[in-house]
Structure formats: C-alpha cells, structure tokens
Amino acid sequence: MRILCLGDSIMQYNDWTSYPQTGWVQLLDRFFVPGTEILNFARNGRSSKSFIAEGRFEKVLDAAQSGDFALIQFAHNDEKIKDSQRYSSAEKGGEFRKNLAFMVQKLQEKGAKPLLLTPVTRRKFVSEHKIENTHGLYPQAVSETAAELNVPCIDLTDLTTRYFEKAGENASRNFFMNFGGGIYENYPEGKTDDSHLRCDGAYAVCRLFVGALLKLKNLWKDYSEIFDGLCTKGIYSDREIDDEKIFW
C-alpha cells in the first residue's frame, strides 16, 4: 500500500538541519504495517494554489498509481491574503475549494483514493485551556468540499484543538517549536513558533488521525485497504523482544 501526502510545512519531511521540527506524516509509518510506503510531497510554505502553480501537483500525478491513497491538507498558507502567489479564498465558489476539488478529481482519474484533512490548529491560546480559531472558514471549506465530492474528511482542526486545549497553554509548548535556548543545537537561542511541530506533536497528530480514520471504517468500503493496513493493538503480539539480562 502507498500513501501520498500533499500539503505544507506541517506535513513536510524535515532532515537533521531543521531538527527538532517534524512534519506529522514523518511518524505515520509507525501506525501502519511494514511495507506501507509513505510518499511525502508536502513542502514548506506551499498553499493549494502555489502547490499546483509550481508544478508540484504534476509530480504527484506522475507518481500516483491506481490504488494509492492521498492525504490532502492545506490552508495555513492559503490564508495569507497579502500574498497573491499563495492566497486562495475559502468562501463558497472560492479558489481554495476549487483547488481541492481539482486535486481530488485528478487523483481519482489516476485511480487514487483521496482523503481531505482540515489543518492542524495553531497554538494560540486566549486562556489556559482555550485556543483561538485562526483558520477561519478554511476547515469548513475542506469538510464541505469533501461532502460535495463524496470523499472522506478528517477534521484535524477540531481534534488537535481539543487535544492541545486539554494539555493546556504551558504543557502544549512541548508539542510545538516553542522552547528556550540551550536545548537544541540548531536553535541555540531557542524558538517561538506555535505552528510547526516537534516530534511529540507530530506523534500526537498521527494518533488523532489514525483514531479518526478507524471511525470511518464502516462508512467507506472502497477505502478498506487503508483501514486494514493500520497497526491495531496486539497485531504484533508475537514479535521478538530484547530479553537480555544485565547482571551486576
């Protein structure tokens, strides 16, 4: 099974030069059986508009095969209204919805099976356990487009908002690129970034995604392979473990 990932920096693969920043799909293979391929096409700073305009979506189509699954998650950069190269409106009839529909339809023509995802929330607290919605109409635009096209949608905006709100304003820093100096070699002076994830945040988003995916199992029979590929609890109960004993 192959999973294609289309999105921005919240998904993007990060190498050692940007550590500890972690795109959430970097940890996704841990939740699927061995042999599952995760093809990550997400790139920093891209919106649905620029992803298409730069030819990145064409690369996805060139790679796509019948039976592939495609996770599509945009909005963070589509929201940048002052940037004409990236901005796309989330209003009904707006370019954002048209871009999502275009991607879905073209992928379906290749025999791939798209899933639309609303964006991960930003860590913008207005009180200890309350996050402000900074994504406006974009999550709604994603879910409504999915319904119109009859494809699955997972509302990661809602799921991550509730998850990070429960953690609280202070503890939730551990999930984001928000930390003091002297911790990471790449950021000796620290960093204040409440959009991009660290490893724990990426892992949390993966868990939320997989939990939501399992709830769709009985609703989307055509997507059965992606459900069957999940590492459900106990699937490796017979795996080898390290039973070396240390004697003092």
Per-residue pLDDT of 184-198, as tens digits, reads 999 999 999 999 999
Q: CA torsion sign, 180 to 156 to 161 to 76?
A: positive
Specify the CATH number for 2-228; select among 3.20.20.190, 3.40.190.80, 3.40.50.1110, 3.10.50.40.
3.40.50.1110
For 207-221, b/e burial (b = at least 16 CB within 10 A) is bbbbebbeeeeeebe
Domain edges within the chain: 2-228
Confidence of residue 232 (pLDDT cuts 50, 70, 90): confident
Question: What pLDDT, in 10s, does the model give residues 100-135?
Answer: 999 999 999 999 999 999 999 999 999 999 999 999
Is the per-residue pLDDT at 85 higher than 60? yes
> Which pLDDT value is given to residue 241?
46
- Tens-place pLDDT, residues 6-53: 999 999 999 999 999 999 999 999 999 999 999 999 999 999 999 999
Cis amide linkage into residue 114, ω under 30° from 0: no
pLDDT-derived band at 82, boundaries 50, 70, 90: very high
* pLDDT tens, residue by residue, 49-67: 999 999 999 999 999 999 9
Q: Which two tokens stand for residue 223?
A: 């997507």
Q: Which of the pair, 242 or 130, is modelled with greater confidence?
A: 130
Residue 248 has pLDDT above 50, yes or no: no
Integer Cα distance of 202 and 84 in angstroms: 30
143-152 pLDDT, tens digit each: 999 999 999 9
